[in-house]
Amino acid sequence: MGCSSSVPDRASGRSGGLNPENSAADSKNLRVKLVLLGDSGVGKSCIVLRFVRGQFDPTSKVTVGASFLSQTIALQDSTTVKFEIWDTAGQERYAALAPLYYRGAAVAVIVYDITSSDSFAKAQYWVKELQKHGSPDIILALVGNKADLQEKRKVSVQDGTEYAEKNGMFFIETSAKTADNINELFEEIAKRLPRPTSS
């Protein structure tokens, strides 16, 4: 198997490939590439659809490859942030192709399901992968989804917080079902984005 020609891209974090051509247009109107990663079934698509369309569909629909959606939010300081979101498939067969989607992403949201320890382990795998191969200045967010299922909880808030702190990540628990913390997640990300120095 030949060496991957995608490696240089990945290492350099060059904004090529699946990136908007003019990201971060100006200081008032930001445009960022965000990628969601995590095990299948943790609710990545549900988070995105809740954020972008305000919808929640309880029937589980498996994502194939990756879906692309965008949503713009306005912050209190009158800046707008347009998120260009890659909602990737959690299936194992796509793991090897993930660099295609996270290459050059400014933000990676790594999602697990608080009712599944396996999915938390998988989240840690993605964190390591991104620390190794993502853009060096990538913003990492760790999201424990399905927070409405408290009675089935397997991953404690503390475990999530501690792991996130250790890895310099921002941590939040959400529920795409109840919409809890979904907007907060994206607003918090927006706040943390580096502002281009206005010329």
Partner 1 sequence: MPSRRRTLLKVIILGDSGVGKTSLMNQYVNKKFSNQYKATIGADFLTKEVQFEDRLFTLQIWDTAGQERFQSLGVAFYRGADCCVLVYDVNSMKSFDNLNNWREEFLIQASPSDPENFPFVVLGNKVDVDGGNSRVVSEKKARAWCASKGNIPYFETSAKEGINVEEAFQCIAKNALKSGEEEEIYLPDTIDVGSNNQPRSSGCDC
Partner 2 sequence: MSCGLSSLSSSDELDDFNPRTSPSTPPKPLEEELASLALTLPHPQLLSDQDDVNGVSDGFEADRSMFGIQQSDEEMRVGLVFEEHVGGNSVSVVEGATEGSDGAGVVWGRTNSEIEVDRPASPSSSGYAGERGSSSASSGRSEMDGVAEDEIQELRDDASDGENSNSVPSWVPGKRHGDEDDASISWRKRKKHFFILSHSGKPIYSRYGDEHKLAGFSASLQAIISFVEDGGDRVKWVRAGKHQVVFLVKGPIYLVCISCTEEPYESLRGQLELIYGQMILILTKSVNRCFERNPKFDMTSLLGGTDVVFSSLIHSFGWNPATFLHAYTCLPLAYGTRQAAGAILQDVADSGILFAILMCKHKVISIVGAQKASLHPDDMLLLANFVMSTESFRTSESFSPICLPRYNPMAFLYAYVHYFDVNTYLMLLTTNSDSFYHLKECRIRIETVLLKSNVLSEVQRSMLDGGMHVGDVPVDSLPRYRTTSHLGQQRAPSEFPERFKESNAGMGGPGGLWHFIYRSIYLDQYVSSEFSSPITSRQQQKRLYRAYQNIYASMHDKEIGPHKTQFRRDENYVLLCWVTQDFELYAAFDPLADKALAIKICNRVCQWIKDVENEVFLLGASPFSW
Tokens 């659809």, residue located: 49
Binding residue (CB under 8 A) for partner 1 from 59, 96, 197, 199: 96
d(Cα 52, Cα 196) in Å, to the nearest integer?
A: 25
Rounded to the nearest whole angstrom, what is the least distance from the CB of residue 80 to partner 1 in the complex?
33
7 lies in the site for partner 2, by CB under 8 A:
no
Contact 174, 181 (CB under 8 A): yes
If the CB atoms of residues 83 and 101 are measured against partner 1, the closer one turns out to be: 101
* Whole-angstrom distance, CA of residue 148 vs CA of residue 196: 37
Nearer to partner 1, 40 or 167 (CB): 40
Q: Which of 89, 88, 73, 71 is nearest to 35 (CA)?
A: 88
- Backbone dihedral angles phi then psi of residue 149, each to the nearest 5 degrees: -95, 55
Specify the residue, 24 or 47, whose C-beta has the smaller distance to partner 1. 47
Site string for partner 1, 59-88 (x = CB under 8 A): -x-x--------------------------
The region of 67-75, 157-165, 168-176, 183-191 touching partner 2 under the rule CB under 8 A is 67-75
Q: Are 102 and 136 spatial neighbours (Cβ–Cβ below 8 Å)? A: no
> DSSP readout, 125-173?
HHHHHHHHHS-TT-EEEEEEE-TT-GGG--S-HHHHHHHHHHTT-EEEE
Tokens 């320890």 locate to: 117
CB of 53 to partner 2, least distance (A): 9
Select the residue interacting with partner 1 from 15, 45, 115, 145 (CB under 8 A).
115
Quick one: which of 11, 67, 69, 118 contacts partner 1 (CB under 8 A)?
118
User: Quick one: which of 91, 161, 167, 183 contacts partner 2 (CB under 8 A)?
Assistant: 91
Instruction: Please report the sign of the dihedral spanned by the C-alpha atoms of residue 44, residue 47, residue 48, residue 50.
Output: positive
Q: Which of 11, 23, 40, 179 binds partner 2 (CB under 8 A)?
A: 40
- Answer for which of 11, 18, 73, 100 binds partner 1 (CB under 8 A) is 100
Q: Summarize as ranges the residues that interact with partner 2 (CB under 8 A).
A: 6, 16-21, 40, 45, 49, 61-69, 87, 89, 91-94, 97, 100
